[in-house]
Every structure is written in C-alpha cells, then in structure tokens.
Amino acid sequence: MSLEASDLPGRLPENVVHFAGALRRAGLPVGTSETRSAVEALAATGFSHKADFHAALRAVMVTKASQLDLFDQVFALFWRDPEILEKMMHTLSPLQRGEARPPPPPEAAQRRASGRDRGAG
Amino acid sequence: MTTPTSIDETAALLAAEGYVAGRDLATVAFLSLRLSKPLFLEGEPGTGKTEIAKALASGLGRKLIRLQCYEGLDVSSALYEWNFAAQMIAIRTAEAAGETDRGALQAELFSDDFLIRRPLLQAMEAHEEGPPVLLIDEVDRTDEPFEAFLLEALSDFQVTIPEIGTVRAPEPPVVVLTSNRTREVHDALKRRCLYHWVGYPDFAREMAILNARVPNASQTLSAEIVAFIQALRGEDLFKAPGVAETLDWARALVALDTVALSPETVSDTLGAILKYQDDIARVSASETTRLLAEARTRLASV
C-alpha cells in the first residue's frame, strides 16, 4: 500500500505544508516526516468530515497533551482562512514572536560545513 | 474479521466489542491500522486506554500480547531470556550420561526449547490469524534506556538472537502504547506513533458506555450515576473517578438493588469511586447531598 501526495485533491498537499509551517511558527515542533505522515493520513481518512480531517492531522502533528490547545487554535484559524494566520503573526508583538520562534540557524556552523564541502571538492 | 476500510467500520468494530469510541478515537485507530503506525494513547487512569487494545484484538480476531511496563523493566524481560534453570538441568544430565560432545551440547542448550519468549518476541513471530495486537501498557513507568530500545524495536520489528538468528515480523503487529503521563515520554518515541489524548467522556458518551457495559442498570439509575460522577470530576480531588470507576460503581449499585441514588447509598459506596482516603474525607455527607442535587438539576435540564 502506498499513499502519495498525488492521491490528494487539488492543492491540499501544499496547504498541509503551509499548515505545518504555521504550526512551526506557533511553536510546535512539526518536521518534514510529520508533514509527510499528515498527507498519508489525509489520503487514508478522506475529506468528507472536517472532524476526521482534524483528528487525523492532530494525531500525526501533536506529541504532547500540552500542545493540543495550540494545535486546535492554529487549526481553527488556518483551515478557515490561511491568510488570517499570516496577519495574526504580524500583529503579535516582537517579544511574543521572538518567544515562539525557533532558535536562529547556526550560521557559523553552516558556513564552516559549506566551506569544508568546497575544500573537499 | 478483515481490517476495517473506513472510520465508520472501525467505530462499528469497536462498538461490537462493547467499546464506545468517540469519532476522533475511531479515526486515530483506523489510521493506526491503515498506516501501520503505533497508537500512542495518553490520558488519566481509568479512561479506557487499555480497553481499546483488547477491543481491537478481539474485534479483529487477533491475539493480544501485553507488555506491562514497570520501573526497572529490562530488555530481557521484554524480549527473551534463556531458561537458565532448564539449561543447568540439561548440563547435569549430559554430565551424568557421560556425554562429551561439547558442540552438540552447546547447540542443544541454545536451541528453541530453552528460549523463553517474552511479549516483544512473541509479537514479532508469525501468527496464523494475522499480526497480533501488541499492548505496551503504561510506558511512562519505564526508564529512558528502555524507551530507546522500544524505539528501535518498533522501527524495524526484528530482533537478533545471537545463538539462533534474526526473528522478523512477517507483518508488523498492531501496536498500542498507553501512558498515564506520570512523566513525559520521549518525543522520538511519540513521533513514531499516532498521538491521541483520551479524556473523560461527555455525558452522552459515558451513558452509552454504561449502557453497553452494565446493561442491567436501569436508565434512571445510569443517568444519575453518570451525572453524579461528572459533577464529582469537577471537584478538587487527588484522583478524579475514571470511566472504570463509573462502571465499578454501577455494578456495585446494581448488586445492591439500588433503584435511585440517595445521599446514604452514595456515602456507603463511595469506596468504589474514590480510591484515596483524603478524597473520601473531602466528599463528606453534606458534600454528597450537594453534589447529588447538582447532578439532579443537570439531569432535569437535559
């Protein structure tokens, strides 16, 4: 059995990716593998009921009880109008945004790694 | 019975086993079967986390293999052990019989006959009726090294026994992990799973559970029981009663031929729903009367 993104209608896989991004910005650690699982899960459940859609995404993207409320809030906002969330994020004060944001990428380490690649090649 | 092909079929399968699942739990259970991902159920004790594994196993006609976790659980008690005592007897017998072929003795001592299969190994072996349901109960009670081991075992469903060889599950078992959240289980393990928080059911669902599990309680009594328990859960208790307590209490009240709740019957049977002396002391006689009145008002408004 293989469930692929192409089994999903229209732009849904893309929207799932955006949703994962929204969750990340809200502070939930949702990675690529979760996003992939989410697409598989949606292909399996179908899309006739919003409640099933919600339960399927929650099962793969949440790993702690403390994340449930946050997930539900982002879900409610996002699947009503994805753009609202973008606007919401901008209205948050810089301090709040800073808290929710993941730590900045280790730039120095990346430069070192890419430098090593160049050196090796 | 074959694996359900939809959420409705999953809910029906569980319902046929007397397990009243909410739509969201049925969705997650269906996904777990369909995507072959372990199901991670977290929630307060007595909310039916273990029961779902039992219902799944009997509904699917599969064997239920249970690994009860506890502090200090080690790999050998979870996977396999050599039957040391039997090996010793075999050695002594061989000595007495004057057998000197070391190779043959070695091969005999580490053969299938002396292997004690613990739950995880059992779950990885082939079963006639299809892959078994593996229940890893109260995984929060184990320690981190064991979790790491579980993570590995649940990723490949194979185990290598040096003396015998590799045992690999022909089809991955249906895995259900439960946690009472006495501590946070490591994220890496939970990421492999489908997470579901099992909360207390609402009035309608708890009524449905009670009707399914204790059918000989009258409707009036059942409604009063559920309303009272739900009111009790709103109190500040050390351990609020779970669904398991609701069912125990209902059975106790039926056995006592109770027709309707009264403050006296409640006080007399409080031990069935509250398991800590502090909680029992807190819910005094006047409290009981108040809670009962509260439950009745709520019932009247339904």
C-alpha to C-alpha distance for A110 and A113, rounded to whole angstroms: 5
Strands B39-43 and B174-179: parallel
Residue type for position B161: I
Which among A52, A62, A65 is the nearest to B27, CB-wise?
A: A52
- Asked if B195 lies within 8 A of A44 by C-beta distance, the reply is no
Nearest residue on chain B to A40, alpha-carbon basis: B35
Taking a C-beta distance cutoff of 8 angstroms, is the pair A95, B227 a contact?
no
Taking a C-beta distance cutoff of 8 angstroms, is the pair A45, A56 a contact?
yes
C-alpha to C-alpha distance for B260 and B221, rounded to whole angstroms: 5
Q: What percent of chain A has pLDDT over 90?
A: 35
ipTM, two decimals, is: 0.81
Nearest by Cα to B79 from B134, B141, B133: B134
Over residues B174-178, mean pLDDT: 96
Partner residues linked to B28 by β-bridges:
none
Residue B195 reports pLDDT greater than 90: yes
Nearest residue on chain A to B44, alpha-carbon basis: A65
Which among A29, A40, A65 is the nearest to B42, CB-wise?
A: A65
Which among A44, A54, A55 is the nearest to B35, CB-wise?
A: A44
Better pLDDT: A9 or A100: A9
Contacts of B162 (CB under 8 A, 6+ apart): none
Residue A121 reports pLDDT greater than 50: no
Which among A51, A59, A65 is the nearest to B194, CB-wise?
A: A59
pLDDT tens profile B48-102 = 899 999 999 999 999 999 999 999 999 989 999 999 999 999 999 998 988 878 8
Question: What is the reported pLDDT for A95?
Answer: 47
Helix (H) or strand (E) holding A77: helix A68-78
Helix (H) or strand (E) holding B171: none
Residue type for position A51: A
A-chain residues near B37 (CB < 8 A): 37
- Asked if B7 lies within 8 A of A52 by C-beta distance, the reply is yes
Over residues B147-156, mean pLDDT: 89
pLDDT tens profile A1-49 = 444 445 566 678 888 999 999 999 999 999 999 999 999 999 888 777 8
Cα three-residue angle A55-A58-A59, rounded to 5 degrees:
85
Question: Look-up: residue for tokens 């229940």?
Answer: B135
Query: From the CA of B264, how many Å to the nearest CA of chain A?
Result: 38
Question: What is the reported pLDDT for A108?
Answer: 56
Name the phi and psi angles at A36, rounded to 5: -60, -45
Judged by CB atoms within 8 Å, which residues 19-58 of A form the interface with B?
Answer: 29, 33-34, 37, 40-41, 44-46, 49, 51-52, 54-56, 58
Nearest residue on chain B to A67, alpha-carbon basis: B197
Residue B57 C-beta-side C-alpha neighbours within 13 Å: 18
Residue B250 reports pLDDT greater than 90: yes
How does the average pLDDT of chain B come out, rounded? 91
First to last CA, chain B: 39
Residue A97 reports pLDDT greater than 50: no
Question: What is the reported pLDDT for A85?
Answer: 56
Phi-psi region of B32 (alpha: psi -120 to 50; beta: other; left: phi over 0): alpha
**A87 and chain B: CB distance < 8 Å anywhere?**
no
Evaluated on CA atoms B120, B122, B124, B130, the torsion sign reads negative
Q: What percent of chain B has pLDDT over 90?
A: 60
**A116 and chain B: CB distance < 8 Å anywhere?**
no
Q: What pTM does this model have?
A: 0.81
Query: From the CA of B281, how many Å to the nearest CA of chain A?
Result: 31
